[in-house]
Amino acid sequence: MYEEGKEAVRLREKEKLVYKRVGLMFSRRWRFGWDRFTEVDIFAGHNDTSAETLSQAIRAAASEEPDADGSVLFGHLQGTVVGLRYYTGVVNQGEMVGLVRQPQNPYDSNAVMVANVYGCQVGHIKKELAAAMAHVMDNNLAKVEGVVHSGTKNKFTMPVMLSFWGKEENKNAVMESMARRGYKLNTGGMKPLGANQTYSSQGARAMSSKKGVTIALTPEELKNAFDNLFEDLMESKDGEKEAAKSVSTPLLPHQKQALSWMCTRENKSGLPPFWEKRGELYYNSLTCFSAKEIPERVCGGILADDMGLGKTLTTIALILTNFRKGKPLPVETCQEEQSSFVKMASKLKGSSSASDGTGTLCSERPQGSVVCVETPDVVEIKDKSEKSTSKGKTKATKRKASKDAPVMLEDLDFAAALSGSSVDSGLKKKRVSKTEPPTLRADSSISKRGEDSSARTTLIICPLSVLSNWLDQFEQHVHANVKLNVYLYYGSDRNRSKTFLSSQDVVITTYNVLSAEFGNKSPLHAINWLRVVLDEGHVIRNPNALMSKAVLELTAQRRWILSGTPIQNSVKDLWMLLAFLRLKPFDVREWWNRVIQRPVTQGDRAGLQNLQTLVKCITLRRTKSSEVDGRPLVSLPKKTVCVEQVELSQPEREEYELARNEGRNTIGRYVAEGTVLRNYADVLAILMRLRQHCCHPDLLSKTSLDLDAPATPAELRQRLIEKLRMVLASGSDEECSVCLDSVRLPVITHCAHVYCRPCIAQVISTQQDTARCPLCRSEIKISELVEFPQEEMEEENRRTNSENWRTSSKVQALMSNLLRLEAKTAALSVWLSLSSHVSSQYWRLHLESMDSVLCVWMGP
DNA sequence: ACCGCCGGGTGCC
DNA sequence: ACCGCCGGGTGCC
C-alpha cells in the first residue's frame, strides 16, 4: 500500500503517532466502540471501521451536550483547517463539518478536530484559533459548527466558516473571550461565499435564522405541522402481500398492505432519503457529504398504526414471511427433533409469585396467570385441532417426533386460556425442550455462522406489560403445527447461551432485561440479529437513559419500531427513533440538531419539509378512521350501549351515605367560606370517590378524606401511604417510571410519586446531594421514601384473599353480564382471556358503560 | 507549501 | 559575523 523509501517510513511513523494520540483520547473519554478501534483500522486508510468508531465517539460526545433548543447564533468567524494531508476525511463544497475538542491531544490540549459527516477526520483547527475556541467549547459557552465553502481540494489547509451557537446569556462572554485572543465574531449580514441554496447550508441558515430570507412559520403553524407530521403519511402505500402459510390468521387488507410495505423496506436496495447518485459517488443533499460506498440503507422503519390495527399480527406475519432474500421463514421443512411448536417460555412475575417460582409446574395444576409451562424435560400439549391444514408430511414428522417425548395433557381451561380461544377448542399439545435445539435447518445458508447471512433470529423488545400479549399472539396467529422457536428471555433462569439464542426464530424480552444485561457480558449484545423490533418504541425517547443506550448498541440487520404514538411531545422524540434505525447521518446527534431539529424549532419551512420527507420515507401510519380505496380501514360492529340500573346492597348503601355526608360537609364548608372554586379539585375528588364507592367499596380506604394540608410529619406519612395504597389498588399506574416494569418493593416520594425502591435509590445515589424526582423534579431523599407498612400490607393481602374477597353489586351485575355475553360471542372470550394476562397482580376492567372506570382488585 | 520558519553554511566584489 | 544572505530541510495539533 505504501511506497518504499524514507518518505513512506516517515509518513508511517506519523500515522502511528496519530493513532496513538487518537487512541489515547478515545480510551480516556469514550467507552463505546473502543474495542473495535484497532491498529489495523487506522492503517487501512479509508477503512470504515475507524470512521465508524470516530463517528460513534462523536455521537457519544454530542449526546452529552445539551440540546440545541433555544440556541441563538452569536456570529461567524473564518477559520483555517490545517493538517489535511494527515487525514483521509474529505469534504465537498458547502459541506458541513463537525468540530470536536481533543483535550487529550499531547501536542496541544486546546486541539480542535475537524471531521466530516461520517466522522472521518479532515484536519485540525489552526492552533491559535483552537486555543480561543477551546476555552469557549470547554466551558460550554457555545457550540461551534463549521461549513467548508471553498478550498476543498487543497492539500494542506482549507478555510472553514465557523458559526457559534449558544444560550443568549453566554453571548457576551463568548464574544469577549474570542476578542481577547484576537478573534472578532462577525455578526453582520454578509452572506458567506459559496453558501448552498438549501437550508442545509450552515451559512445560509445562519443568515436567515432570525428574520431574513426564509419566512418563518408561526408557532401555531409549527404546532399544526407536528400534529400532522404523522397524519400526512396516510396516503395508501401500494401493494398488498399475502402472509406465509404458517400464519394462521387471515390478514385484513390494510395488514397485507403493511406487510407488503415492511417487506419492501427490508428488501429494497434504494437510497435512503436525501441521498442521490452523482457520477461514481453518493451524495447527501442536506449535508453535502458524499461517499464512494453506497450509504448504508435503513432496513426497517416505523410502523405507527393506531392501536388495534394489528401491529403485532403484522409483525408476526413479517417474521414468518420475509426471512432471507424475500423468502418465508423455513418452518415447514421439518427435521425430526424439531417438529411441533417449540416454545421456551416461563414465569412472568405473576406466575412465579403465584406458584413459588419453581419451573416444574407440569406436575401440578397451574395457578395464576402462568403463560407457559416449563419443565426440565419435554412436554407436549395436544394440538388445537386434529385436522391439519398443512401438508401431510409435516404432520407425519410431527407425530413421529412426539413419540419420543413425554406427553402431558394439561388442564383444559388452562390450555384454552393460553391459546386465547374458548374452552371448546380442545386439547393443546405443547412440546417444551430444555436441551439445546438442533441448529441446522434445511436452509443451507446457515452453515456460515457469524456472517451476516447466518443471522436468523428476530429480537422483540417490549414493555413488561405487553410481554404476555406477544406470547399469546404468537400462539394465536401461527399455525399450531408449525414449529417456531420462540424464546422468552426473561426471568432469573433465562438461557444466556449465545448459540442457543441465535438459533431461535424469535427471542422476546423486555426493555428492563435488556438494560440490565447491557454492559454486563450481555448475550443480547453479542448476537447479530436478523431483526430487532421495538414494541411501544416511543418509550426509548430519552437518549440519556441506559435503556436507550442499550437499544442503540444492538447489532441487527433490520430494525423496526412499533408505536402508536411516535411523537409524544416534540421533534426531539424522533431523534432516538432515527438513531435506532441508523438513518445516516442523523443517528449522530449533531447532524440531527443542525439539519433538522434546530431549523424546525426555529420555524424554518425547508427544515420542516426535510423532516416530513424523512419521516415519510420510513413510516407507515394509519388510524382507525383511515380509508383504503375509499373504504374504511376496519369495520367494527356497531357499538351498543346498554344502561343497567344496579341497586346498592344495604351495607353498600350505608357506606356510601357515610362518605356522601362527609363529602357534603366538606363542600358545604367550602361554600360557606366561598372557596369552592379554589378547591374545585378537591370537590372533584370527592365526587370521584363517591363514584368509586358505587363500583366497589374496597376501592376506598377506611381512612377518611382529609383535605387539609398535612400538619405533622406523621400525618404526611399517613397521607403518602394512603396515596401509595390508592396507586397500587387502582392498577392504573403500577409501572415504575424508572424501570418501566411493574413496581416492585414500592415506595412513594414526598412529592407523591411511586417507584421501585431499588430504582429510585439508584437514581438518588447517582445524583448525589441534590437528587430530583424523575417525574416532577422535586428534591427527594432516600430517608424520605415511604414504604407500605408491613401490617397494612398483610391487611391488604388478607382483604384480597379469596376467602376475604367481597364482591359488590356492580361487580356482580357486571360479571353476570360478561358471562352471558361470553356464551354468545367468541370475541369477548378472547378479550377476557387476554385481559387475564394484562397484569399479574390486578385484573383490570375498564368499562365505559359503567358510571366511571371500574377498577376491581381481584387478586390472584 | 509557487509559502514561512528553522538552523547550518558562509562571508568583498 | 553577537550580523545578513543563501539555500536545503521541513511542514497540524
The residue to which cell 445458508 is assigned: A445
For A417, the 3-state DSSP assignment is: helix
- Which has the closest alpha carbon to A182: A141, A114, A112, A133? A133
pLDDT value for A360: 27
Yes or no: say if A788 and A746 are a contact pair by the CB < 8 Å rule: yes
Residue by residue, DSSP assigns A333-358 as: S--GGG-S-BEE----HHHHHHTTT-
By DSSP bridging, strand A486-488 and strand A343-344 are: parallel
A7-CA/B7-C1' distance, Å = 22
Report the nearest residue to nucleotide B3, CA vs C1'.
Answer: A156
Q: What is the DSSP letter of A536?
A: T
Cβ within 7 Å of nucleic strand B, residues = A 82, 85, 156-157
> In the predicted model, is pLDDT for residue A136 greater than 90?
yes
A99-CA/C11-C1' distance, Å = 23
Long-range pairs for A816-822 at CB < 8 Å and ≥24 separation? A817/A644
Report the C-alpha gap between A554 and A106 in whole angstroms. Answer: 34
Weakest mean pLDDT among A146-160, A325-339, A614-628 = A325-339
Yes or no: say if A79 and A114 are a contact pair by the CB < 8 Å rule: no
pLDDT digits (tens, 9 = 90+) for A493-544: 789 899 999 999 999 999 988 988 887 888 999 999 999 999 988 888 888 8
Yes or no: say if A532 and A461 are a contact pair by the CB < 8 Å rule: yes
A10-CA/C9-C1' distance, Å = 14
The C-alpha cell at A795 is 391487611
A83-CA/C6-C1' distance, Å = 29
A503-CA/C11-C1' distance, Å = 56
A366-CA/B13-C1' distance, Å = 115
Question: Higher confidence at residue A557 or residue A54?
Answer: A557
Report the C-alpha gap between A848 and A841 in whole angstroms. Answer: 22
Q: What is the DSSP letter of A362?
A: G
- A830's CB contacts (< 8 A; 6+ apart) are A420, A421, A422
pLDDT digits (tens, 9 = 90+) for A189-247: 644 433 333 333 343 343 333 333 456 667 667 667 766 776 656 555 668 888 888 99
- Nucleotide of closest approach to A82 (CA, C1'): C12
Report the C-alpha gap between A448 and A686 in whole angstroms. Answer: 67
Taken in order A755, A761, A762, A765, the sign of the CA dihedral is: positive
- Nucleotide of closest approach to A84 (CA, C1'): C12
- Phi first, then psi, for residue A163 (nearest 5°) are -125, 140
**Where does residue A280 rank: exposed (0-12), middle (13-18), buried (19+ CB within 10 A)?**
exposed
pLDDT average, residue stretch A392-411: 31
- Phi first, then psi, for residue A79 (nearest 5°) are -125, 180
Bases on strand C under 7 Å from any protein CB: 11-13
A183-CA/B5-C1' distance, Å = 24
Q: What is the CATH number of domain A217-268+302-342+456-626?
A: 3.40.50.10810
Report the C-alpha gap between A727 and A5 in whole angstroms. Answer: 76
Q: What is the DSSP letter of A637?
A: P
In whole angstroms, what separates CA A392 from the centre of its chain?
42
Report the C-alpha gap between A542 and A573 in whole angstroms. Answer: 7
- Nucleotide of closest approach to A154 (CA, C1'): B1
Report the nearest residue to nucleotide B1, CA vs C1'.
Answer: A156
- Which has the closest alpha carbon to A839: A420, A489, A465, A347? A465
* Position A201, amino acid: S
pLDDT value for A564: 80
Report the C-alpha gap between A718 and A836 in whole angstroms. Answer: 32
- Phi first, then psi, for residue A287 (nearest 5°) are -105, -10
Bases on strand B under 7 Å from any protein CB: 1
pLDDT band at A262, cuts 50/70/90? very high
**Where does residue A367 rank: exposed (0-12), middle (13-18), buried (19+ CB within 10 A)?**
middle
Question: Higher confidence at residue A582 or residue A208?
Answer: A582
pLDDT value for A406: 31
A7-CA/B10-C1' distance, Å = 30
- Which has the closest alpha carbon to A243: A173, A178, A322? A322
* Position A30, amino acid: W
- Nucleotide of closest approach to A83 (CA, C1'): C12
Report the C-alpha gap between A50 and A15 in whole angstroms. Answer: 13
- Nucleotide of closest approach to A85 (CA, C1'): C12
> In the predicted model, is pLDDT for residue A43 greater than 70?
no
Yes or no: say if A303 and A561 are a contact pair by the CB < 8 Å rule: yes
> In the predicted model, is pLDDT for residue A410 greater than 50?
no
A43-CA/C8-C1' distance, Å = 31
pLDDT value for A203: 38
Report the C-alpha gap between A111 and A76 in whole angstroms. Answer: 20
Weakest mean pLDDT among A664-673, A705-714, A766-775 = A705-714
- Nucleotide of closest approach to A15 (CA, C1'): C12
A349-CA/B12-C1' distance, Å = 102
pLDDT digits (tens, 9 = 90+) for A702-760: 444 444 566 677 888 888 887 887 777 655 446 677 766 667 788 898 888 888 888 88
pLDDT digits (tens, 9 = 90+) for A355-368: 333 332 232 233 33
Residue by residue, DSSP assigns A793-841 as: HHHHHHHHSTTT----HHHHHHHHHHHHHHHH-HHHHHHHHHHHHH-SS
Long-range pairs for A226-233 at CB < 8 Å and ≥24 separation? A226/A567, A226/A570, A226/A571, A229/A567, A229/A611, A229/A612, A229/A615, A230/A304, A230/A566, A230/A567, A230/A615, A230/A619, A230/A621, A231/A621, A231/A623, A232/A612, A232/A616, A233/A304, A233/A615, A233/A616, A233/A619, A233/A620, A233/A621
pLDDT digits (tens, 9 = 90+) for A283-299: 999 888 988 888 888 89
A120-CA/B12-C1' distance, Å = 58
**Where does residue A215 rank: exposed (0-12), middle (13-18), buried (19+ CB within 10 A)?**
exposed
Long-range pairs for A844-848 at CB < 8 Å and ≥24 separation? A844/A731, A844/A732, A845/A814, A847/A814
How high is the mean pLDDT of chain A? 70
- A551's CB contacts (< 8 A; 6+ apart) are A461, A511, A514, A534, A540, A580
- Nucleotide of closest approach to A155 (CA, C1'): B1
pLDDT value for A525: 93
Question: How open is the CA angle A593-A594-A596, to the nearest 5 degrees?
Answer: 70
- Nucleotide of closest approach to A129 (CA, C1'): C13
- Nucleotide of closest approach to A110 (CA, C1'): C13
Q: Which helix (H) or strand (E) holds A774?
A: none
Question: Higher confidence at residue A837 or residue A745?
Answer: A745
Residue by residue, DSSP assigns A474-522 as: HHHHB-TTS---EEE--STT----HHHHHTSSEEEEEHHHHHHHTTS--
The residue to which cell 395508501 is assigned: A236
pLDDT digits (tens, 9 = 90+) for A314-363: 999 999 999 988 888 887 545 444 433 434 443 343 333 333 333 322 32
- A705's CB contacts (< 8 A; 6+ apart) are A659, A662, A663, A666, A685, A686, A689
A512-CA/C10-C1' distance, Å = 58
The C-alpha cell at A70 is 433555544
Residue by residue, DSSP assigns A682-701 as: HHHHHHHHHHHHHH-GGGS-
Rg of chain A, C-alpha, whole Å:
31
Yes or no: say if A641 and A683 are a contact pair by the CB < 8 Å rule: no
pLDDT value for A791: 73
A13-CA/B11-C1' distance, Å = 39
Cis peptide before A585 (omega within 30 of 0): yes
- Nucleotide of closest approach to A131 (CA, C1'): C13
The C-alpha cell at A89 is 476525511
Report the C-alpha gap between A565 and A572 in whole angstroms. Answer: 14
Report the C-alpha gap between A760 and A749 in whole angstroms. Answer: 9
Report the C-alpha gap between A689 and A686 in whole angstroms. Answer: 5
Question: Higher confidence at residue A815 or residue A860?
Answer: A815
- Nucleotide of closest approach to A14 (CA, C1'): C12
Report the C-alpha gap between A255 and A413 in whole angstroms. Answer: 31
pLDDT band at A550, cuts 50/70/90? very high
Q: What 3 state SS string does A195-212 have?
A: CCCCCCCHHHHHHHCCCC
Task: Spell out the domain ranges in chain A.
Answer: 6-208, 217-268+302-342+456-626, 345-386+405-436, 650-800
A184-CA/C3-C1' distance, Å = 39
pLDDT value for A231: 64
Q: Which helix (H) or strand (E) holds A115?
A: strand A112-115
A11-CA/C3-C1' distance, Å = 38
pLDDT digits (tens, 9 = 90+) for A52-102: 444 444 444 444 444 556 789 999 999 999 999 999 888 999 999 999 999
pLDDT average, residue stretch A828-839: 40
CATH topology of domain A650-800: Herpes Virus-1 (3.30.40)
* Position A467, amino acid: L
> In the predicted model, is pLDDT for residue A408 greater than 60?
no
- Nucleotide of closest approach to A134 (CA, C1'): C13
pLDDT band at A461, cuts 50/70/90? very high
Report the C-alpha gap between A396 and A580 in whole angstroms. Answer: 44
For A95, the 3-state DSSP assignment is: strand
- Nucleotide of closest approach to A130 (CA, C1'): C13
CATH topology of domain A6-208: Alpha-Beta Plaits (3.30.70)
Cβ within 7 Å of nucleic strand C, residues = A 10, 14, 17-18, 21, 82-83, 85-86, 105, 107-108, 110-111, 123-127, 130
By DSSP bridging, strand A143-148 and strand A95-101 are: antiparallel
A156-CA/C5-C1' distance, Å = 29
The C-alpha cell at A602 is 426555529
- Give the number of other Cβ atoms within 10 Å of residue A121's Cβ: 23
A7-CA/C7-C1' distance, Å = 21
pLDDT digits (tens, 9 = 90+) for A591-613: 999 998 888 888 888 888 888 88
pLDDT value for A799: 59
